[in-house]
């Protein structure tokens, strides 16, 4: 099997149609036929997730569809990702991401993560229910361009402000851009707590990262 | 007894006011430990009565946290720093707080002069808590039979719980956050969330009580379907779209948490351009909300100077 146009279309289609096993098979066959991992990523996996993003923006796809498509994407990404990393090519930028303390709703954060990885960003995922101090140490150690904070609950959204406040106290705020998102959050709230941007959904979060990560 | 909610429903009044205040904000006001309060019916009633007397709004809602029923059905919760599901199955024994809610509702019925509502979960959201939300969302597209099993279990529990509540003569607010169009498509709503919600609403209406329905996030594409459910009140984030059902909302939760006095006043005034409305926050108010912001909202709605 060669890595021809037709097969990249098949790979893209398998992501859009949530066929994780098919994605895995196609990727393995492409690698066996000497297709480069970057090419598989750039011509098959990324366009697949971009199409999913388009369908989500147009309200054709909703969260269940995006979750299943993400699984299909990772079935391929988990194979080619390590091969790309081995060549240690510089990424487009580094993002530290996590759901703030007290909040365990991480579906939105996971979708943002997949969109960022699919677009070539290095993502340090701190997970959910992340204590403020953990965000601070990750910013200090990883030196990301972006810190992405998520909260789904009105009870936990103020913890985003706490993270930004401590970043300022530790003189780390000027080195990074902070973006926020989640159901109860809006543009005004983001401005009020001193964030640099608000992502209404995973795909606008990606656009923000692209805007802030110009190298 | 003042029942402005029924008066709005019966077209005898334009507006009533209720910022969605639950046990967490009222516990915070009194510096009570939330985790302790939600396990004690008398304390639940005490904090909610305090909130009602402080703010003088037009209804009281017995709302603890979203996981009361999931916990009673076997999920393990933790309450600190915030209530959440720790594990889908506790293994042994269930903590059933529904009896504390019933106790609180009974006390409040006696002590307050406005209608008392009790919050219950929509079967779709309850089923998602039982299955684990991410897994549940995936099986909506891949495992219909499994989804139906969870829904059946959730509905069976809710009908029995609802019947106990209706005997108290309290009104009901059904919250179904996972059925929002921010999460699932209108098609999936129609397929899985619609019928169980409809059954609960019919039971409430049959008892001659008020059925409210709260859906968070995006609801615009759902409004025609929500209207078909024939709830009495529809509590939604964006009240601008037209709906046949009486709407509830108008003030963003973010505004009430961190907006200026002017911003709160403007949102109230904008919302009151609706013919009839239960003026409310778009979701439950966060615990640490400044009481002055809530007072501003209520006073502005009542036409009093702030």
Q: Which chain A residues are Cβ-neighbours of B24 within 8 angstroms?
A: 155
Report the SS3 class of residue A148: strand
* Cross-chain residue pair B81–A192, CB shorter than 8 Å: no
* Cross-chain residue pair A62–B141, CB shorter than 8 Å: no
Mutate one of A70, A184, A190 to test the B interface: name it (highest B CB count within 10 A).
A184
Q: What is the full DSSP assignment across A74-105?
A: HHHHHHHHHHHHHTT---S-EEEEEEBTT---
Nearest chain A CA: its distance from B167 CA (Å): 32
* Cross-chain residue pair A158–B82, CB shorter than 8 Å: no
Judge whether residue A203 has pLDDT over 90.
no
CA distance B81 to B34: 10
Task: Please tell me if residue A202 touches chain B, with a CB cutoff of 8 Å.
Answer: no
Burial string for B227-261 (b: 16+ CB within 10 Å, else e) reads eebebbbbbbbebeeebebbbbbbbbbbbbbbbee
- Tell me which residues of chain A, numbers 5 to 44, contact chain B at a CB-CB cutoff of 8 Å: 18
Owner of token pair 């005034």: B269
pLDDT tens digits, A148-185: 999 877 778 889 999 999 999 999 999 899 999 987 78
Burial string for A125-159 (b: 16+ CB within 10 Å, else e) reads bbebbbebebbbebbeeeebbbbbbbbbbbbbbbb
pLDDT tens digits, A85-128: 665 456 789 999 999 987 777 878 888 888 888 888 999 999 98
Parallel, antiparallel or unpaired: strands A94-99 and A146-150:
parallel
CA distances, B218 to each of A187, B107, B123, B274 (Å): 16, 35, 19, 19
Tell me which chain A residue has its CA closest to the CA of residue B189: A62
Task: Please tell me if residue A150 touches chain B, with a CB cutoff of 8 Å.
Answer: no
* Cross-chain residue pair A102–B133, CB shorter than 8 Å: no
CA distance B236 to B217: 8
- DSSP-assigned letter for residue A188: H
Tell me which chain B residue has its CA closest to the CA of residue A61: B185
Q: Please name the residue ranges forming H helices in B143-222.
A: 144-166, 186-188, 194-206
CA distance B2 to B86: 41
The reply to whether the predicted model has a pTM over 0.90 is no
Task: Please tell me if residue B267 touches chain A, with a CB cutoff of 8 Å.
Answer: no
CA distance B216 to B296: 23
pLDDT at A88: 47
Tell me which chain A residue has its CA closest to the CA of residue B25: A155
Report the SS3 class of residue B161: helix
* Cross-chain residue pair A156–B137, CB shorter than 8 Å: no
CA distance B116 to B3: 10
Task: Please tell me if residue A157 touches chain B, with a CB cutoff of 8 Å.
Answer: yes
Tell me which residue in A59, A68, A155 faces B82 most closely, judged by beta carbons: A155
Q: Which chain A residues are Cβ-neighbours of B142 within 8 angstroms?
A: 68
CA distances, B277 to each of A192, B3, B137, B224, B274 (Å): 29, 14, 33, 18, 6
**Grouped pLDDT means (10 residues each) for chain B, 306 residues:** 93 96 97 96 98 98 96 91 83 83 98 98 97 94 97 97 97 96 95 98 98 93 96 96 96 89 95 95 92 97 78
CA angle B142, B143, B148 (to 5 degrees): 140
**Percent of chain A whose predicted confidence (pLDDT) is above 90:** 53
Measured in whole angstroms, the distance separating CA A201 from the mean position of its chain's CA atoms is 11
Whether the ipTM is more than 0.85: the answer is: yes
Tell me which residue in B185, B216, B257 faces A62 most closely, judged by beta carbons: B185
Judge whether residue A215 has pLDDT over 80.
no
pLDDT at B242: 94
Q: Which of B48, B58, B171, B170 is nearest to B114 (CA)?
A: B58
pLDDT at A89: 53
pLDDT tens digits, B182-231: 899 999 999 999 999 999 999 999 999 999 999 988 899 999 999 999 99
Q: Which chain A residues are Cβ-neighbours of B221 within 8 angstroms?
A: 59
Tell me which chain B residue has its CA closest to the CA of residue A182: B217
Q: Which chain A residues are Cβ-neighbours of B82 within 8 angstroms?
A: 102-103, 153, 155-156
């Amino acid at each position: 099997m060669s890595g021809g146009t037709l097969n990249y279309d098949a790979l893209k289609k398998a992501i859009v149609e949530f066929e994780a096993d098919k994605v895995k098979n196609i990727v393995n066959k492409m690698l066996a036929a000497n297709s480069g991992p970057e090419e598989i990523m750039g011509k098959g996996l990324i366009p697949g997730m971009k199409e999913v993003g388009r369908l989500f923006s147009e309200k054709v796809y909703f969260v269940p569809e995006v979750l299943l498509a993400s699984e299909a994407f990772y079935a391929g990404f988990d194979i080619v990702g390590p091969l790309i990393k081995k060549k240690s090519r510089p990424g487009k930028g580094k993002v530290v991401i996590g759901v703030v303390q007290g909040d365990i709703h991480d579906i939105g954060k996971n979708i943002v993560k997949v969109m960022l990885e699919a677009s070539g960003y290095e993502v340090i995922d701190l997970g959910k229910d992340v204590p403020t101090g953990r965000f601070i140490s990750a910013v200090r150690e990883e030196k990301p361009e972006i810190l992405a904070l998520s909260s789904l609950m009105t009870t936990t959204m103020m913890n985003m402000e706490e993270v930004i406040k401590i970043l300022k106290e530790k003189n780390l705020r000027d080195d990074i851009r902070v973006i926020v998102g989640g159901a109860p959050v809006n543009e005004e709230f983001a401005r009020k707590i001193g964030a640099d941007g608000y992502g209404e959904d995973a795909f606008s979060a990606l656009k923000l990262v692209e805007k802030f990560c110009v190298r | 007894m003042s029942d402005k909610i029924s008066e709005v429903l019966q077209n005898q009044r334009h507006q009533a006011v209720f910022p969605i205040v639950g046990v967490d904000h009222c516990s915070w006001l009194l510096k009570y430990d939330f985790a302790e309060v939600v396990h004690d019916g008398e304390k639940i009633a005490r904090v909610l009565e305090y909130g009602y007397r402080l703010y003088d709004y037009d209804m009281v809602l017995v709302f603890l946290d979203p996981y009361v029923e999931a916990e009673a059905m076997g999920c393990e919760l933790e309450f600190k720093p915030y209530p959440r599901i720790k594990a889908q199955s506790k293994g042994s024994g269930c903590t059933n707080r529904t009896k504390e809610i019933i106790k609180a509702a009974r006390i409040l019925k006696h002590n307050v002069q406005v209608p008392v509502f009790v919050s219950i979960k929509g079967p779709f959201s309850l089923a998602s808590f039982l299955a684990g939300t991410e897994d549940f969302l995936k099986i909506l597209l891949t495992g219909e039979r499994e989804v139906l099993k969870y829904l059946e279990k959730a509905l069976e529990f809710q009908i029995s719980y609802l019947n106990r509540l209706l005997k108290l003569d309290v009104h009901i607010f059904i919250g179904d956050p996972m059925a929002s169009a921010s999460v699932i498509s209108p098609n999936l709503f129609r397929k899985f969330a619609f019928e169980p919600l409809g059954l609960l609403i019919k039971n409430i209406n049959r008892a001659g009580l008020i059925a409210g329905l709260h859906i968070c996030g995006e609801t615009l594409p759902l409004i025609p379907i929500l209207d078909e459910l024939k709830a009495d009140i529809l509590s939604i984030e964006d009240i601008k779209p037209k709906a046949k059902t009486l709407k509830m909302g108008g003030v963003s939760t973010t505004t009430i948490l961190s907006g200026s006095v002017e911003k709160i006043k403007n949102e109230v005034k904008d919302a009151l351009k609706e013919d009839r409305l239960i003026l409310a926050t778009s979701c439950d108010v966060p615990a640490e909300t400044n009481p002055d912001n809530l007072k501003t909202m209520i006073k502005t709605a009542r036409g009093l100077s702030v």
